[in-house]
Amino acid sequence: MAHQGSCTVIVGCQWGDEGKGKIVDVLAENVDIVARYQGGANAGHTVHVGEDEFVLHQIPSGILHEGRRCLLGNGVVLDVQQFFEEYDALVARGVDIEGRVGVSSRAQLLMPYHRFLDKAVEHSAEVKIGTTGRGIGPAYEDKAGRRGVRVADLGNRARLTERIEAAQERTVRRLTELGAGTEDLDRAMDEALALGDRLLALSTEVGPEISAALRQGRSVLLEGAQGTALDLDHGTYPFVTSSNTTAGGAATGTGIGPTQITDVIGVVKAYTTRVGEGPLPSAFEPEMDEHVRTLGGEFGATTGRPRRCGWFDSVLTRLASQVNGLTGVAVTKLDVLDTLDELQIATAYRLPDGRVTEHFPADTWALGKVEPVYETMPGWKAPTHDVRKLEDLPPKARAYLDRIEELTYAPVRWVSVGTKRSQIIPVG
Ligand code: GDP
How confident is the model at residue 2, as a pLDDT?
52
pLDDT at res. 47: 76
Query: How much is the pLDDT for 324?
Result: 98
Predicted pLDDT at 150: 96
Q: Check whether 114 has a pLDDT greater than 80.
A: yes
Mean of the per-residue pLDDT values of the chain: 93
Q: How far apart, in whole angstroms, are the C-alpha atoms of residue 158 and residue 337?
A: 57
Q: What is the pLDDT of residues 315-366, one digit of tens each?
A: 999 999 999 999 999 999 999 999 999 999 999 999 999 999 999 999 999 9
User: Is it the case that residue 109 has pLDDT exceeding 80?
Assistant: yes
Q: Give the model confidence (pLDDT) of 144-154 as tens digits.
A: 999 999 999 99
pLDDT in the model for residue 302: 66
CA-nearest residue, atom 17 of ligand 1: 419
Least confident of 51-55, 258-262, 382-386: 51-55
What per-residue confidence (pLDDT) applies to 3? 61
Average pLDDT over residues 192-204: 96
pLDDT reading at 393 higher than 60: yes
Q: Is the pLDDT of residue 42 over 90?
A: no
- Lowest-confidence region among 42-56, 103-117, 238-252, 314-328: 42-56
57 is catalytic: no
- Rounded to an integer, what distance in angstroms lies between the CA atom of residue 370 and that of residue 252? 34
Q: Which of 17, 32, 289, 313 is catalytic?
A: 17
pLDDT recorded at residue 129: 67
Q: Is 48 a catalytic residue?
A: no
Given this model, what pLDDT does residue 183 score?
A: 84
Q: How confident is the model at residue 385 (pLDDT cuts 50, 70, 90)?
A: very high
Question: Is the C-beta atom of 135 inside 6 A of ligand 1?
Answer: no
What percent of the chain has a predicted confidence (pLDDT) above 90?
80
Domains, the chain, ordered by start: 7-104+204-265 (3.40.440.10), 108-197 (1.10.300.10), 268-426 (3.90.170.10)
273 lines ligand 1 (CB under 6 A): no
Indicate whether residue 17 lines ligand 1 (CB < 6 A): yes
Q: What is the pTM assigned to this prediction?
A: 0.94
> Is the link from the previous residue into 378 a cis peptide, with omega within 30 of 0?
no
Does 12 contact ligand 1 (Cβ within 6 A)? yes
